[in-house]
Amino acid sequence: MPVLVGLKKRYIVGVSFLIAVSNLNAIAQNNLERKTTYRYDFSLLDRKIQAWIASSYYSGAAIMIVKNDNIVFKKCYGNYTEETKVFIASAGKWLAAATIASVVEKTNLSWEDKVNKWLPEFKDSKGEATLRQLFSHTSGFPDYQPKDSVIDNYQTLKESVKHIVNLSAKAKPGEQFSYGGLAMQVAGRMAELATGKDFESLFLENIAVPLGMKNTHFVPVNDEGGHSPMLGGGARSTLADYMHFLDMIAHEGKFQDRQILSKLSITEMQADQVKGALIGHKEYVERVRSKKHKSIYGLGEWREELDEKGNVILISSPSWAGAYPWIDKRTNTYGFFITHVNVVEANKAGFSAFYSSPVLPIMVREVYKKTSLH
């Protein structure tokens, strides 16, 4: 009898869980659809995306832009819909950082914890790197596995860490900013050890399910080039899902009256985490914004633009494959362009999806500016 009761309880909990997720998805979708308005002329931006697709850089794409909590532009191109699942490469770093932040909030894991506190097998300088540095590209870890080493498309973080521990450090912690993904694997493993749960479960429980992101996952890990490691480049998502995430970030951690992340966590993620580390010549922000500043990265996100007082006003998490989520505080806008580059065609033309997609928020600002003049 106790066994049957236990099974019944698990069944009831499981059904209740599924119903809750289903209801949340419906509410979130209806909420977005209910607040759609088209008072702006996005024809130039539309033509830009169409030109990329006509050049065969992308087989399709989708974009949604929200201003003042209203959808001001939404369009799907080619074979894409709002629900098309796409490997979003580095756009997943933002999701991973939020997941780590949720664990920091709920457990004794701290952004100041050193690697060797949780993983004592790291006995060299890599063990002295903090969780904060692991997620801000300042840990001194190598960016990726050496070309002559094993491919880093591990299905578990435990396995991944085993192949990272013996790699030579690239620099001392806090010394250099070097964009990559391996260090984030170690951060993910620290979160697993702090909770006793695998990273995918942590993401689903703390971020995806509360936000109704029913089609977003980090596993199974994609074994195609450019998408691994898992935390730094292996997520897949949809336009609809990722917009829920941006909604939450843009509202200081709150989504539909529920606090998913604390305001403190959002502030921490968006704050300068480079902290004086040496930045190489023509790093991403300098290349796409033609302005150089020393606080270019937070936790899992780029700090593309600052205002006159040094406060961040444009944040993003671009991917080499073209996916580009952003939040523009100057115009109270957030948006997501989801796509996946055709590497062969792009290389033929010398087209970089990573450096091309960041034009979108600038074009959006121009749309607003022209509208205000009429």
Q: Each residue of 259-282: pLDDT tens digit? A: 999 999 999 999 999 999 999 999
Percent of the chain scored above 90 by pLDDT? 81
- Give the integer Cα–Cα distance in Å for 212 and 218: 16
Q: Is 177 within 8 Å of 280 (Cβ atoms)? A: yes
For the cut 60, the answer to whether the pLDDT of residue 4 exceeds it is: no
Relative to beta strand 254-255, strand 236-237 is unpaired
Q: Phi and psi for 349 in degrees, rounded to 5?
A: -95, 0
For the residues 239-268, what does the mean pLDDT come to?
98
CB distance 372 to 39 below 8 Å:
no
- Strand-strand pairing, 254-255 and 258-259: antiparallel
What would the mean pLDDT of 279-304 be, rounded to a whole number?
Answer: 96
* Domain range summary for the chain, segments of one domain joined by +: 1-34, 35-372
- Predicted confidence (pLDDT) at residue 13 exceeds the cutoff of 50: no
Mean pLDDT of 124-132: 99
**CA atoms of 37 and 251, how far apart (whole Å):** 20
SS3 state at 329? coil
In this predicted structure, the answer to whether residue 321 has a pLDDT above a threshold of 80 is yes
Predicted confidence at residue 224, as pLDDT, reads: 75
Burial of residue 279 (CB within 10 Å: 0-12, 13-18, 19+) is: buried
Which of 26-30, 123-127, 190-194 is least confident? 26-30
76-127 pLDDT per residue, tens: 999 999 999 999 999 999 999 999 999 999 999 999 999 999 999 999 999 9
* Lateral strand order in the sheet of 302-306: 70-77, 58-67, 333-341, 324-328, 312-316, 302-306
133-144 residue pLDDT tens: 999 999 999 998
Q: How many residues does the chain have?
A: 374
The stretch 228-232 carries a mean pLDDT of 85
User: Residue 346 pLDDT more than 70?
Assistant: yes
Q: Binning pLDDT at 50, 70 and 90, where does residue 354 land?
A: very high
Residue 225: band (very low, low, confident or very high) from pLDDT cuts 50, 70, 90: confident
Is residue 372 exposed (0-12), middle (13-18) or buried (19+ Cβ within 10 Å)?
exposed
Q: Is 84 exposed, middle or buried (0-12, 13-18, 19+ CB in 10 A)?
A: buried
Q: From CA 300, how far away is CA 317, in angstroms rounded?
A: 7
∠127-315-338 over CA atoms, to 5°? 100
Q: Give the model's pLDDT for residue 18.
A: 47
CA atoms of 273 and 303, how far apart (whole Å): 10
Domain 35-372: homologous superfamily in CATH: DD-peptidase/beta-lactamase superfamily (3.40.710.10)
pLDDT at 197: 98
Average pLDDT of the chain? 90
User: What average pLDDT score do residues 176-203 get?
Assistant: 97
pLDDT at residue 22 in the model: 54
The predicted pLDDT at position 374 comes to 45
Find the distance separating the first CA and the last CA of the chain, reported in whole Å.
74
Q: What is the reported pTM?
A: 0.90
